[in-house]
A = this chain, B = another copy of it.
């Protein structure tokens, strides 16, 4: 009988990713619970979004762990990261835009994640694998942007699901890697 809080969060994430303006009532109905119950678990809309943020951070952190970004070449690390992040791409896209709009008060967990992503690009630069004229901060932003774009491209049918990882990885790595022009 007890509501599965995490399941509610995942349903809310799926809904809010597609429709950021969904009401609490819509979120509740999508999760198959009453609005009152939703309020019992999340004090309000802000609390829900904050919980969503924590879920996103948890999943992103898990993806970083699973991708073992310290091992092998930086390119392969980026490829593994893209693969691991794919299931959470929608949530990430939602949170990225959410964070862009509300200046200031953002969860500190993002800093840690930014650092870990940035570290991969730094490592690639240090080891001579990536070009050094594109800053790790920019490559990190670009990574978020491309994952979001990739999610929407797949969501709207402009890119096949099976191509998600390849398209992002090739574009990002093609731009980041040192290479000799043809």
Contacts and interface: CB of A to CB of B under 8 A. Distances in A.
Interface of A: 18-21, 97, 100-101, 103, 131, 133-135, 137-139, 141-142, 144-146, 148-150, 152-153, 158-159, 163, 166-167, 170-182
A141 B159 contact: yes
B142 A171 contact: yes
Contacts of A134: 167, 170-171
A124 to B, nearest CB: 12
Q: What are the 10 tightest A-B residue pairs by CB atom distance, in nearest-first order?
A: A145-B149, A174-B175, A171-B175, A175-B175, A145-B145, A179-B179, A141-B153, A137-B158, A141-B149, A138-B167
A137 B152 contact: no
Give this chain's copy count: 2
A104 to B, nearest CB: 11
Given A21-B101, A138-B153, A145-B145, A181 B177 contact: yes
Given A101-B19, A167-B134, A182-B178, A152 B159 contact: no
